[in-house]
Amino acid sequence: MSGAGQWGDLAPRVISGVVMAVAGGLLVWGGGWPFAIAISALGGLMIWEAARMFGAPRAVGMGLMGAAAVFGALILPGILVLPVLLAAAIATAGDIAREKGVYALLAGWVLIGCYAVAMLRAESGLGWIVWLVLVVVVSDVAGYFAGRILGGPKFWPKVSPKKTWSGTVAGWVAAAVVGAVMAGPLGAGAGLVVISVLVSFAGQMGDIAESAVKRHVEVKDSSDLIPGHGGVLDRFDAMLGAGVLVFVLIQLGLMPGVA
């Protein structure tokens, strides 16, 4: 690959990344209802993208249902959360002509992931959501540059042909550094280093899972909403994977430093 081709997408990725970082940073810092509404809207956009990927004729309505489900789950009693989110995934699958099961799994994962991220900010506080974002972003950046510079064997070529072992491992190392830096301020201890690597891997698997779905339905990107990144789902798939794992660990009492 030529130098120009290898780095051709870097400029739009950086510009879009800066815009998302500023907007996302303000929302994360503020928290509260603006953050909850923003996460619900992102969930709706990702359901809209998923519906379009599967050829649904009423993708906009499905996206609105997804956004409403996330927001509803955030204000309803905990016992109703999973039923509401899964019901929305199953209901919107009714508008899919083929591969309803695959779509329903994708939609359920998107909605649960959005809920998990919103609840981490609401219940665990600013420091923990900053840690999660840093683990995902730093892993992605380290993986991107290590993969482009070092190359080498592919991690899972049949599903995600661009991902290399060098980039994957670089992401783990970067995540471990984030865990080591954040362990003290979060009162989590050295265990956060290991957790950070696991969360990084969950994010990478979220990315790969979305890539597998796109290959299955034969689309390149979930949409073209974000220059250099594709769609919202393309950009936040790793956050969904990481967020779901953190949520599960918290529920099981396995997150150091989180009550």
The predicted-structure confidence for 79-110, as pLDDT tens digits, reads as follows 999 999 999 999 999 989 888 999 999 999 99
Q: pLDDT value at position 9?
A: 60
Q: Tell me: pLDDT of 216 over 50.
A: yes
- Mean of the per-residue pLDDT values of the chain: 90
Asked if 70 and 44 count as a contact pair (C-beta separation under 8 A), the reply is: yes
Which pTM does this prediction carry? 0.89
Q: Which residues pair with 164 in a beta bridge?
A: 154
Instruction: State the Cα–Cα distance between residues 173 and 179, nearest whole angstrom.
Output: 10
Domain ranges of the chain: 31-124, 126-259
Q: Which of 50, 109, 66, 61 is nearest to 248 (CA)?
A: 109
Q: Tell me: pLDDT of 159 over 90.
A: no
Report CA 150 to chain centroid distance, whole Å.
25
Average the pLDDT over 205-232 and give the result. Answer: 87
Q: Where is pLDDT greater, at 258 or 177?
A: 177
Q: pLDDT value at position 229?
A: 67
